[in-house]
Amino acid sequence: MTRLLRLSVLPGLAACLLALAGTAVSAEEHKKPAAVTEISKDMVQVPKPPFTEGIFPCSMCHDPKAMPPNTKRRVLKDMHTEISLHHGPDSRWCLDCHDAYNRDNLHLANGKLVSFNTSYQLCGQCHGDKLRDWRVGVHGKRTGSWNGEKQYLLCVHCHNPHSPHFKPLKPMPPPTRPEAIQIKNGGAK
């Protein structure tokens, strides 16, 4: 129930905040390289987010002076046309998660900036149960040591944030049927 509420409130909230964003967010906050402050100490850092090559930092193109942000809700026609958003309600759009004035960051529903390296905070706003499981190592893949250092992955390593449903895979070959095993030199080779 709360999740549903949040979902519906989120775009509205974000829109309000966008108007304020320029002033509301402290400049220092997003300058800090977002280390893994959120996760408890024994968890290790997450690998870099899987950006398409040459796309980050976003501010390379999104220079606020050369290209003032257009906060009008619309379907993008000129750039980023390869992204089709299949995530949540139809009304959701880019600037609900991406920050219009701090392009190299994302923002939470309350306007707090979040680096791409800790994007799980953003995902966890709606998917709180998954975030909880992820923290304890039950949602998502772990590699490394069962009794020591573990490597975590960000949500976006497995789920495309614009289309998060896990994509089908080609299965690896099935076992050989017993009758198909070749007998060679008086025994199975």
Partner 1 sequence: MDQDACQPTPGAPCPSGENNGRREFLGAAVAAVATALTGCGTLSKEEFLQHNFRELSKEEVLTVIERLEKEYKEKFGREVKVANTPPMPGVMFGYALDLSRCIGCRRCVHACVKENNQSRDPEIQWIRVLEMDKEEGVDLQHAEQYYNPAEVPREGHFYMPVQCQQCKKPPCVKVCPVGATWREKDGIVVVDYNWCIGCRYCMAACPYGARHFNWGDPHLPSKDVNPDTHYLGNRPRPKGVVEKCTFCVQRTRKGRYTACVEVCPTGSRKFGNLLDKESEIRYVLENKRVFKFKEDLNTQPNFFYFYGV
Cα–Cα dist 29/4, whole Å: 30
Task: Report the residue number, 2 or 182, with the smaller CB distance to partner 1.
Answer: 182
In which element (H, E) is residue 134 found?
A: helix 128-135
Give 154's contacts (C-beta < 8 A, 6+ positions apart).
Answer: 46, 47, 49, 117, 119, 120
Least Cβ distance, residue 63 to partner 1 (angstroms): 38
Least Cβ distance, residue 115 to partner 1 (angstroms): 23
Task: Report the residue number, 33 or 173, with the smaller CB distance to partner 1.
Answer: 173
Task: Report the residue number, 31 or 132, with the smaller CB distance to partner 1.
Answer: 132
Phi, psi of 153 (to 5 degrees): -120, 150
DSSP 161: T
Task: Report the residue number, 63 or 149, with the smaller CB distance to partner 1.
Answer: 149
- DSSP-based three-state secondary structure for 162: coil
Task: Report the residue number, 19 or 138, with the smaller CB distance to partner 1.
Answer: 138
Task: Report the residue number, 54 or 175, with the smaller CB distance to partner 1.
Answer: 175
Which positions touch partner 1 (CB under 8 A)? 133, 136-148, 158, 166, 168-177, 181-182, 187-189
Cα–Cα dist 107/99, whole Å: 6
Least Cβ distance, residue 157 to partner 1 (angstroms): 10
Six token digits for residue 62: 């999104």
Cα–Cα dist 163/150, whole Å: 27
Six token digits for residue 122: 């953003």
Least Cβ distance, residue 119 to partner 1 (angstroms): 17
Measured over the CA atoms of residue 81, residue 76, residue 88 and residue 111, the dihedral's sign is positive
Least Cβ distance, residue 164 to partner 1 (angstroms): 13
Least Cβ distance, residue 153 to partner 1 (angstroms): 8
